[in-house]
Homo-oligomer: A and B are copies of this chain.
Protein backbone atom coordinates (compact mmCIF):
# COMPACT_ATOMS: atom_id res chain seq x y z
CA UNK A 1 0.00 0.00 0.00
CA UNK A 2 2.52 2.54 -1.09
CA UNK A 3 0.03 5.17 -2.15
CA UNK A 4 -0.39 6.20 1.43
CA UNK A 5 -3.41 8.13 2.51
CA UNK A 6 -1.54 9.92 5.25
CA UNK A 7 -1.35 13.42 3.91
CA UNK A 8 -0.36 14.40 7.39
CA UNK A 9 -1.65 17.84 6.69
CA UNK A 10 -0.76 20.35 9.36
CA UNK A 11 -4.24 20.92 10.64
CA UNK A 12 -3.69 24.38 12.09
CA UNK A 13 -2.27 25.60 8.84
CA UNK A 14 -5.16 24.13 6.91
CA UNK A 15 -7.86 25.68 9.00
CA UNK A 16 -6.00 28.97 8.82
CA UNK A 17 -6.06 29.03 5.04
CA UNK A 18 -9.43 27.32 4.90
CA UNK A 19 -11.27 30.53 5.63
CA UNK A 20 -12.07 32.54 2.50
CA UNK A 21 -11.61 35.88 4.27
CA UNK A 22 -8.14 34.91 5.41
CA UNK A 23 -7.21 33.72 1.92
CA UNK A 24 -8.33 37.08 0.59
CA UNK A 25 -6.23 38.85 3.19
CA UNK A 26 -3.16 36.85 2.25
CA UNK A 27 -3.76 37.75 -1.37
CA UNK A 28 -3.96 41.44 -0.55
CA UNK A 29 -0.85 41.29 1.60
CA UNK A 30 1.04 39.53 -1.18
CA UNK A 31 -0.05 42.11 -3.73
CA UNK A 32 0.65 45.18 -1.64
CA UNK A 33 3.61 43.93 0.32
CA UNK A 34 2.15 44.81 3.68
CA UNK A 35 -0.92 46.23 5.38
CA UNK A 36 -2.73 46.94 8.60
CA UNK A 37 -6.08 45.82 9.90
CA UNK A 38 -7.54 49.14 8.80
CA UNK A 39 -6.14 49.20 5.28
CA UNK A 40 -7.12 45.60 4.66
CA UNK A 41 -10.65 46.06 5.96
CA UNK A 42 -11.14 48.96 3.53
CA UNK A 43 -10.66 46.56 0.64
CA UNK A 44 -12.96 43.88 2.01
CA UNK A 45 -16.59 43.55 3.01
CA UNK A 46 -15.86 43.06 6.71
CA UNK A 47 -15.10 45.32 9.62
CA UNK A 48 -11.68 46.21 10.94
CA UNK A 49 -12.23 44.14 14.06
CA UNK A 50 -13.00 41.02 12.07
CA UNK A 51 -9.83 41.54 10.07
CA UNK A 52 -7.87 42.09 13.26
CA UNK A 53 -9.06 38.76 14.63
CA UNK A 54 -8.08 36.99 11.43
CA UNK A 55 -4.68 38.64 11.54
CA UNK A 56 -4.35 37.24 15.03
CA UNK A 57 -5.06 33.75 13.74
CA UNK A 58 -2.65 34.09 10.83
CA UNK A 59 -0.01 35.42 13.19
CA UNK A 60 -0.47 32.53 15.58
CA UNK A 61 0.19 29.95 12.87
CA UNK A 62 3.09 32.01 11.53
CA UNK A 63 1.66 32.91 8.14
CA UNK A 64 2.14 36.62 8.82
CA UNK A 65 4.39 38.67 11.08
CA UNK A 66 3.63 42.02 12.69
CA UNK A 67 5.93 44.99 13.14
CA UNK A 68 4.58 47.85 15.26
CA UNK A 69 5.27 51.23 13.71
CA UNK A 70 4.09 54.06 15.88
CA UNK A 71 0.36 53.87 16.20
CA UNK A 72 0.15 51.37 13.36
CA UNK A 73 0.81 47.66 13.26
CA UNK A 74 1.99 46.57 9.86
CA UNK A 75 1.66 42.93 8.84
CA UNK A 76 3.72 41.11 6.27
CA UNK A 77 3.46 37.62 4.85
CA UNK A 78 5.98 35.10 6.12
CA UNK A 79 7.07 33.72 2.80
CA UNK A 80 8.49 30.43 4.00
CA UNK A 81 5.37 29.53 5.91
CA UNK A 82 3.07 30.49 3.04
CA UNK A 83 5.18 28.38 0.73
CA UNK A 84 4.58 25.43 3.07
CA UNK A 85 0.86 26.11 3.01
CA UNK A 86 0.80 26.37 -0.77
CA UNK A 87 2.65 23.07 -0.99
CA UNK A 88 0.06 21.40 1.18
CA UNK A 89 -2.77 22.68 -0.99
CA UNK A 90 -1.11 21.41 -4.12
CA UNK A 91 -0.25 18.11 -2.50
CA UNK A 92 -3.82 17.34 -1.52
CA UNK A 93 -5.02 18.31 -4.97
CA UNK A 94 -2.41 16.09 -6.58
CA UNK A 95 -3.20 13.18 -4.27
CA UNK A 96 -6.84 13.28 -5.27
CA UNK A 97 -5.91 13.56 -8.91
CA UNK A 98 -3.68 10.52 -8.58
CA UNK A 99 -6.43 8.44 -7.03
CA UNK A 100 -8.89 9.55 -9.68
CA UNK A 101 -6.39 8.54 -12.34
CA UNK A 102 -6.02 5.10 -10.81
CA UNK A 103 -9.77 4.64 -10.70
CA UNK A 104 -10.00 5.70 -14.30
CA UNK A 105 -7.34 3.19 -15.35
CA UNK A 106 -9.11 0.41 -13.50
CA UNK A 107 -12.40 1.33 -15.08
CA UNK A 108 -10.81 1.21 -18.52
CA UNK A 109 -9.26 -2.15 -17.77
CA UNK A 110 -12.65 -3.57 -16.84
CA UNK A 111 -14.08 -2.09 -19.99
CA UNK A 112 -11.44 -3.84 -22.05
CA UNK A 113 -11.99 -7.16 -20.27
CA UNK A 114 -15.67 -6.97 -20.96
CA UNK A 115 -15.08 -6.37 -24.65
CA UNK A 116 -13.42 -9.76 -25.13
A interface, CB within 8 angstroms of B? 5, 7, 9, 11, 14-15, 18-20, 23, 26-27, 30-31, 79, 82-83, 85-90, 92-94, 96-97, 99-100, 103-104
Looking at A7, A85, A92, the one whose CB has the most chain B CB atoms below 10 A away is A92
Contacts of A86 in B (CB 8 A): 92-94, 96-97, 100
Cross-chain contact of A18 among B18, B93, B104 (Cβ < 8 A): B18
Q: Across the interface, do A15 and B20 meet the contact criterion of CB distance under 8 Å?
A: yes
Bound together, the chains give a CA A62 to CA B63 distance in angstroms of 32
Bound together, the chains give a CA A26 to CA B93 distance in angstroms of 12
Cross-chain contact of A11 among B7, B14, B20, B94 (Cβ < 8 A): B20
